[in-house]
Amino acid sequence: MLDFGSLLLATALSGACLSGTLLAIWLTARQARFVVTMAAGILLLVLHVIAFWQYGRNASPWLGQLTLTLLVAGFFVILCSTAQYLDRSWHRVAAAPVLAVTVLIMAVTAGGYDGLGFVLAYSTVTALLVVIASMFWAAGEYDRRILAAVTLLSGSAAISFALCALVLVANGQWSLGTVPRNWAEDLNTAVVVACMTALGALTISLHHLRTQRQLTAQTLTDPLTGLLNRRALTMFHGNTHFGSGMALAMFDLDHFKRTNDLFGHAVGDTVLQRFADVVRKHARDGVEGFRLGGEEFAVVMPGIPPLKAHEILRTIGAAFGAEIVVTKLGPLRSTVSVGICFGDEHATTLEQMLIGADAALYAAKRAGRNRVATAEAAGDERVREPELLFA
């Protein structure tokens, strides 16, 4: 049967192994900063456990200060890791209050009120864990199952630390001269061991999920313009039924080969990026932009009536035509040709929409470029008379 000291040392060993595992993961993926921050937080808690064990054997004010400072610092660093993963800045707001409480804990512990120091430290850790749980629960863009698990773990640990503080307050134990020993401490030890192990495993899972998302994003994103690529168009809309109120437009930058030949490919790349920026500005209008390849782009417009769709296309054409690219040969302006196809009550497929939009696009180019043409129907090469895109 393990005594309390042996249990603490086993906890420290388990935490040290977990911290080492996270550090090894970080060494293979340096961009995952939250992993190394979590490893540092767990290592601080390991040092706290060792100091806590020593304080139970030989209590001294400086060791009590160290014990409680390591406890608060460890959970604050874990909060920083959470903020890094979720791309939040809550840890910056918490830094000053945590520092102030830490100074207060050191002062009361140095004055012989180590019990009060434990109460303050446990209360601070409870608050930090509640913030961590809230941050994860509020992050709706992530896998809800994992977020719920992390929230549950953080919440359970918060409750166990709160109980430790309440028992000390209820018993009026403001000066201890040793570590607290009561049923809440025993419960807290068991909960923290379980939560620390599970949190480490979930940190590894979160790292793998982020890596997978990044790889998926790289696969679906055009590296030059930052827009989604043709593969993304197929993935997101390959099974879409384009009914009434949906439209797909294809763009082709006019005389782009001549731009590359006269001004160079670097200027050509800048022109492509400028057009992508113009398209991206209309994302708030429900426009999804894609680079199909070369100088060809597409946008999907769901829930937009035909008049509004044409208005958006003219706005994009005018905004792009107003863009000026400075070159060694002088200022460069470009135009774009557009073909648009509207869905119908038959709920046409992406392939049919592309056929119609592509036919309309080439009709616009044949008519003199800087024009927009509309397909008569999806999957049909008949096109209405092209119109000037902008004067």
Q: Which of 288, 295, 385, 387 is catalytic?
A: 295
381 in catalytic set: no
Alpha helix locations (H) across the chain?
A: 4-28, 33-57, 61-86, 90-110, 114-138, 144-170, 183-220, 230-237, 256-263, 265-280, 306-321, 350-366
Report residue 216 as tokens.
């998926």
| Calpha distance 211→205 (Å, rounded) | 10
Q: Extract long-range pairs of 47-56: CB within 8 Å, 24+ residues apart.
A: 47/74, 48/74, 49/8, 49/9, 49/11, 49/12, 49/15, 50/8, 50/9, 50/12, 52/8, 52/179, 53/5, 53/8, 53/9, 53/12, 55/178, 55/179, 56/4, 56/5, 56/178, 56/179
SS (H, E, C) 332-358: ECCCEEEEEEECCCCCECHHHHHHHHH
| Calpha distance 103→108 (Å, rounded) | 9
| Calpha distance 263→324 (Å, rounded) | 13
SS3 label, residue 301: strand
SS3 label, residue 63: helix
Report residue 86 as tokens.
């979720």
- Of 27, 50, 23, nearest to 39 (Cα)? 23
Integer-rounded Cα Rg, in Å, for the chain is: 31
The residues carrying an active-site annotation are 295
